[in-house]
Amino acid sequence: MRIEKLIIKDFRSHRLTKVSFTSGINLIVGQNGSGKSSLLDALLVGLYWPSKPKDLKKEDILRVDGQSTEITVFFEKDGISYQLHRNITRGVAFAKYHDGSSWKHATETSQKAVRDWMEKLVPYDVFLNAIYIRQGEIDAILESDESREKVVRQVLGLDKYENAYKNLLEVRKEIEQRIKSIEDYLKSTENLDELIGEMEKELSGALREINELSPQIPKLERELERVEKKLGELDELEKSLNSLRLEIKEREGNRKRLETRVEGLEKRIAEGEERLHELEEKVREFNELREKAELYLRLSNFRKRYTDEKARNEKLAENYRAQIEAIDERLAELSELEKRLGELEKEKKELERKLRRLEKDAKAYEDARSISSQLEGLKKRLKLSREEIGDLAKEIEDARKRKEEIQRELEEINEERGGLKNRVKERNRAIMELKKAKGKCPVCGRKLTEKHRKEIIEKYQAELKEVSLSLKELDERERKLRGELVRIEKVLKRERELIAAKELLDQISGLEERLKEYDLEKLGKRAEEYERVKGELNRLEGELESARTELEKVKALEKKRTLTEGKLRSVEEKLRKLDDELREMGFSGMEELDEKLAGLEPTYRRYLELKGAESELQRERKNLERLRTELEGVKRELDEENRTLKRLTEALAEKERLYSREEHERTREAFTSLREELAGKRARLEALERKRDETMENLGKLREEKERRREKARELDELRKARERVQELREKVRRYKAMLKEGALARVGDIASEIFEELTEEKYSGVTVKAEENRIRLGVLYNGREYGLGFLSGGERIALGLAFRLALSLYLAGEISLLILDEPTPYLDDERRRRLVDIMQRYLRKIPQVIVVSHDEELKDAADRVIRVSLENGVSVVKEVELGV
C-alpha cells in the first residue's frame, strides 16, 4: 500500500489542505499545535471511519466555524489506484478504483459499506498495529512486560494464531459434546427391538377386536332409527298439547285485560265530559276581561320605560355637568402654568452656563480616576518586587553562563569518552591478536613467549579496568551535569516571566508620573459640583418638558367642553319629551298613573290565570274523541278474543284423546338405552382404530429410529477420529506460534541491537528479548553482562523503546510497503536525534514509503521530501520545502 495524495476540508485546524506523498521518506515537520499530527488522524479517519482510536472523538473533528468535514485519500495497492472519499458531517462516502481509463465505483455509497470494503483490502488492526506507530506507543513498550507483549502480539499478527488455538479448543469441545450426545442417545435406544415386538403384538390384538365389533354397529343403528322416529312423533304431539294449553292461558289473560280496559275507558270518558263543561265557562270569562287586561299591560310598559329612561338621562345630565365643571378648573390651572413657564426658562439658562464652567475639571477628574484604576490593576498583576526582579535577572544571567559551561564540559566528556572507547577497542583488538599470535609479538616485535604474552595481556586488561572506571566516572559526571542542566533549564524558562515583570514595572512607573500631574482633591470637589448642577439641570428640563406638554392640552380641553355642553342639551330635551308623553296619556304625574294601575291589577291577574283555558278546552275535546274511538276498538278486539278462545278449547280436547304419557315414557327409555349402547360400541371402535393407527405410526418411527441409530453409530466413529485430528492440529498451531514468536523475536532483537548500539554510541553491546507467558522481557548487554531497564537513564530508556518499535516494523519490511511514524523523537537528546537521522537513512529505506511526523528540524537530513505545517490565524497551512533549505 502506498499513499499518493490526501485532501482534507474543515478537519480540526485545517480549512482546505492538499498533500502529496512520494516513495521514500516523507517528513511532515512543524511546531507543536500546528496541525501536523492532524494529517495522520485525517488519513486514519478517511480510510476507516467510523472505526477510530478511543482518543479521537467525533465532536473534536469539525473545524471551528467549519461547514462540513470532508476527507479524500488517493492510494495505490498491488498496482491498482484507489480513491476513497468521506463527508463525515453528512454521512456520505464512496470508494472508487481506476481501471486504466476511468474511475469506477468499488462498493455502495455509504459509510459502513466503504468501511467494510476497506477492511477487506487492508484490515484496520493491521494498519493500526503494523503500519502506523502512533504517539505514546513507545511508552506502552516501556510501561511493562505485559503491555510490551501486547504490542508485539498485535504488530506481528500473533493474535490470529492465538485465536486459532482457542477456536480449535472450542471446536474440540463442540465435537466432544456431540460425541457425548450420541453416546447418550445410543444407550437410551438399546431396547429398540424389544419395543418393536411388543407394539406388533398390540397391533394384532386391536385388529382382531375391530373385526368382531364392526358388524354389530349397523344393526343397532337401524333399531335406534326406528325407535327415534316413534319418539319424535310422541314428542311433537306432547309439544303441540303444551303449546295449546299455553296459548289458551294467554288468551284468557288477554280477555280479562280487554274487559278491564273497557271499564277504564268508559270511566275516563264520563270524567272528560264533566271537565269540558268547566273549561267552556272559563273561556267565556276570559273573553270578558281581555280589554281591561290589555290597558293594564300598555300602562305598565309605559311606566317601566318612563322610569328607566328618566333615571338614565338624569344620571347622564349630572355626569356631563360634572365634566364641564372639571374642565373649567383644569383650564384655570393651565393658565397659571403658562406664567410659570417663563421663570423656568431663565433658571435653565443660568444652570447651563454654570455647567459649562465645571465640565473641563470633571473630565480631568475622570481621566485621573482611570489612570489610578489602571495603576491598581497593574500592581495586582505584578507578582515580584523590584528587588526580586533584579535577583531573578541575575539568576537567569548566571544560569545562562553556567549552561554554556556545562555544554562545554559535556562536549569534553564526549571527546574524552570517545578517546577511551577507541582505546578499549584498540586494547581488545590487541588482546585478540596476542591470543592468536605465534612467534613474533605484534606489539613490540620481539619473540613472543607465553610469559611475555601473559604479561602484556594482563597489562592491557588492567588498563581496560582503569578505562572502565574512567568511563563510569565520566558517566557519573555527565549524569550530574545533565541533572544540573535540567535545573538550569527551569530557571531559564522564567525569562519570559522576567520580561513580563519588567514591562509591568515600566508601565506602573509611567502611570505614577502621569498621576502626579493631577490635583485629585480639588478636581474631586469640582466634579461633585458638576454632578450636582447636572442633576439640577436635568430636573429643570424635565419640569419644562412636562409644562409644555400640559399646555398643549388647552385646545383639546376647550373642544371637549363644547362637545359636552351639546350632549347635556340633548339629554335635557329627552327628559322634556318624556314628561310631555305622560301628560298626553291623561296623567299629570306618576301618582295618578300608579293609582290607575293599582285598580286594574286584580283584573289583569285573573286574566293571566284564565289565559290557558281556551287551548286546554281544545285539547280536552280532542282527548274525548280519541277515548271514544279507542273504546270501540277494544270492544271489537274483545269479541275476536272470545271466538278464538272457543276454537282453541275444542282443539285441545281432540289432541288429549290421542296422547298417552305411559307409552311416551317407555319409548324414551328404549331410545336412551339403544343410544348409549351404540355410543359405547362406536367409542370402543374409534379407540381401537386410533390405537391401530398410533401403533402403526409408532412402529414406523421405531423402524426409522433403528435406521437412525445405525447412522449415529457410524457418525460416532467419524467424530472420534475428528477429535483426534483437531487435537493434533491444535498442537501444531501452538508449536508454530511458539516457533514464529521465537524466530521473530530473535530477528527483532538483532535489529533492535544494531539500532540501540548506534543510538547509545556503542555504549551497550546489544539488546536481549525474552518471551515468557503473557510477557516479553527487555534487557541490555553492558560489559558482557545483562541488565534490566532500570539500569538505563531516562534518555536511554526512550532510545531502547524507539529501537525496539522500529525493529518490529523493519522485521515486517518484506511484508509491508508503508510505515507511518508520529513524533518518534520526544525525550531524545540532541545526539540521539542526530543518530536517528543515520538510522532512518540506513534502515527505513528498506520500506518503499515512510511518512514521519515530527517537530524536529534535524530529521530533514534523512528525508526525500519535506512538508512544513504552520498555524496562521488559527488555520493550518501546508507547504512543501525544498531540500537543503
444: annotated binding-site residue?
Answer: yes
33: annotated binding-site residue?
Answer: yes
Please, what sign has the CA dihedral across residues 142, 145, 147, 149? Answer: positive
Question: Residue 105 class from Cβ within 10 Å (0-12 exposed, 13-18 middle, 19+ buried)?
Answer: exposed
Contacts of 514 (CB under 8 A, 6+ apart): 371
User: Cα-flanking dihedrals φ and ψ of residue 4, to 5°?
Assistant: -105, -45
What's the count of helices (H) and strands (E) in the chain, helices before strands?
18, 15
C-alpha pair distances (Å), 179 with each of 191, 304, 727? 20, 114, 15
- Tell me the CB-side half-sphere exposure of residue 562, using CA atoms within 13 A: 5
34: annotated binding-site residue?
Answer: yes
| DSSP SS3 for 63 | coil
User: Cβ(606)–Cβ(289) under 8 Å?
Assistant: yes
377: annotated binding-site residue?
Answer: no
User: Cβ(688)–Cβ(210) under 8 Å?
Assistant: yes
Cβ burial 647-681 (10 Å sphere, 16+ → b, else e): eeeeeeeeeeeeeeeeebeebeebbeebeeebeee
36: annotated binding-site residue?
Answer: yes
Contacts of 734 (CB under 8 A, 6+ apart): 165
- Cα(46)–Cα(29) distance, rounded to whole angstroms? 21
Query: What letter represents residue 633's amino acid?
Result: G
User: Cβ(814)–Cβ(847) under 8 Å?
Assistant: no
- DSSP annotation string for 243-275: HHHHHHHHHHHHHHHHHHHHHHHHHHHHHHHHH
- Cα(545)–Cα(535) distance, rounded to whole angstroms? 15
- DSSP annotation string for 70-100: EEEEEEEETTEEEEEEEETTTTEEEEEEE-S
- Cα(797)–Cα(139) distance, rounded to whole angstroms? 10
38: annotated binding-site residue?
Answer: yes
231: annotated binding-site residue?
Answer: no
Torsion angle (degrees, nearest 10) of CA 676, 681, 686, 687? 100
Cα 796–800–805 angle (5° rounding)? 150
From the list 10, 76, 84, the residue with the least C-alpha distance to 46 is: 84
C-alpha cell at position 587: 296623567
Torsion angle (degrees, nearest 10) of CA 523, 525, 528, 530? -60
295: annotated binding-site residue?
Answer: no
C-alpha cell at position 58: 467525533
- Cα(627)–Cα(276) distance, rounded to whole angstroms? 14
796: annotated binding-site residue?
Answer: yes
Torsion angle (degrees, nearest 10) of CA 629, 633, 636, 638? -120
Contacts of 781 (CB under 8 A, 6+ apart): 764, 765, 766, 767, 768, 787
- Tell me the CB-side half-sphere exposure of residue 815, using CA atoms within 13 A: 13
- Cα(556)–Cα(188) distance, rounded to whole angstroms? 118
Which letter does DSSP use for residue 853 in this model? E
784: annotated binding-site residue?
Answer: no
C-alpha cell at position 62: 469539525
740: annotated binding-site residue?
Answer: no
Cβ burial 311-328 (10 Å sphere, 16+ → b, else e): eebeebbeebeebbeebe
- Cα(524)–Cα(539) distance, rounded to whole angstroms? 23
- DSSP annotation string for 539-561: HHHHHHHHHHHHHTTHHHHHHHH
Edge-first strand order for the sheet with 775-782 is: 766-772, 775-782, 785-787
Binding-site residue numbers for ATP are 12, 32-38, 135, 791-796
Binding-site residue numbers are 12, 32-38, 135, 441, 444, 791-796
Binding-site residue numbers for Zn(2+) are 441, 444
